[in-house]
Chains A and B, each alone.
Chain A
Amino acid sequence: MLRVVAKFIVPLILLFALYVQFHGELGPGGGFQAGVIFGAAFILYALVFGVDTARRVAPPTLIRNLAAVGVLLYALVGVVAMLMGGNYLDYGVLSDDPLAGQHLGIIVIELGVGITVAAVMIALFYAFAGYTPEPADETDTERAP
């Protein structure tokens, strides 16, 4: 029963996260909130279907890389703005119309924020859920031979 409800609810939460992500310049919301909601949907999935299933859906390596991709995307928008003759993170030059450029810049950097926040939340959950506390010296003796 829990699985049925989760299967029904997880896509809705993901959809809501995307709505918050791309509606951030019109209403309350933005990359931070969207990233957390996206991460929460994924954590719910992992709690109900098991962390190993979730790891197959989103491999930890992919998640770790995505965390870096978000920050890089944000920083790159600034570099592109500089290459197009503006100041760092001055989105007005990204398009012929300054307002359109601002709009474009905000959407892209919010996407960067969302990707990093969601990826870090999921990575943290993986780290907590997958950690098996064991004495540190035991791993050392394993590595020695």
Chain B
Amino acid sequence: MSQLIDFFLLGFLLATAAAVVRLRSLFAAAMLFGLYSLLSAALFVVLDAVDVAFTEAAVGAGISTILMLGTLALTGAKHEAVVPRRPASLLAVAAVGALLIYATFDMPHFGDPDAPAHAHVAPRYIERSPVEIGIPNMVTSVLASYRGYDTLGEVTVIFTAGVGVLSLLGGRRRRPNDASS
């Protein structure tokens, strides 16, 4: 049953991706990107990664779409140049794609207990988290306590990215321009 849902969601993902590539209207493409994120979130739910799904749905489908639409409002929503189809580029893309698919054969299967991700610190977290941290959501205990330093780095990245965008777009420049025009 879960496999059936997987196939449906992956099929929709493929269809959305194909539609994004073919579409000329960038507004529609931005909305489809949101749909793509929502489908990915649904796939994460199927994989029992609800925290990741939550983030994907809120950030990928929500805020990113709004920011993309905001960008389009500033830049215009039409594809200008029509890129001609070149067999060489198609070949390169197909070759890289085939390589990537080939590489997935080396990856551990879903839920494999011997996978490297499950062999190092994960068993210790699962064993000790209820005793050491004592909160029911183990994802939060890893994210906020065991790896609190990484999360501090992530928050700093968000802050720095915000500062970067604000310094590019300029939070204050609007007022003097408005007054002059």
Contacts and interface: CB of A to CB of B under 8 A. Distances in A.
A74 B157 CA distance: 13
A119 B166 CA distance: 12
Interface residues of A, number: 58
Nearest to A129: B70
17 contacts: A25-B135, A28-B53, A28-B54, A33-B58, A36-B63, A37-B62, A71-B155, A71-B159, A74-B155, A102-B133, A106-B135, A106-B141, A106-B145, A120-B161, A120-B162, A128-B67, A129-B70
B156 A106 contact: no
Contacts of B133: 99, 102, 106
A48 to B, nearest CB: 13
A32 B145 CA distance: 15
A60 B137 CA distance: 35
Interface in A4-23: 20
Given A67-B159, A74-B152, A109 B144 contact: yes
B58 A40 contact: yes
Given A67-B159, A105-B145, 20 more contacts: A25-B141, A25-B144, A28-B50, A28-B53, A29-B51, A30-B143, A33-B54, A64-B166, A71-B152, A88-B149, A89-B152, A106-B140, A110-B140, A112-B155, A116-B158, A119-B162, A127-B169, A133-B74, A139-B173, A142-B177
B164 to A, nearest CB: 10
Nearest to B168: A127
Given A26-B136, A36-B59, A60-B171, A71 B156 contact: yes
Interface in B45-82: 50-51, 53-55, 58-59, 62-63, 66-67, 70-71, 73-74
A9 to B, nearest CB: 14
A11 B35 CA distance: 25
Contacts of A33: 51, 54-55, 58
A28 B51 contact: yes
Given A43-B66, A134-B177, A127 B134 contact: no
A91 B145 contact: yes
Nearest to A25: B135
Interface in A91-145: 91-92, 98-99, 102-103, 105-106, 109-110, 112-113, 116-117, 119-121, 123-134, 138-139, 142
Contacts of A68: 159
B166 to A, nearest CB: 6
B26 to A, nearest CB: 15
Contacts of A25: 135-137, 140-141, 144
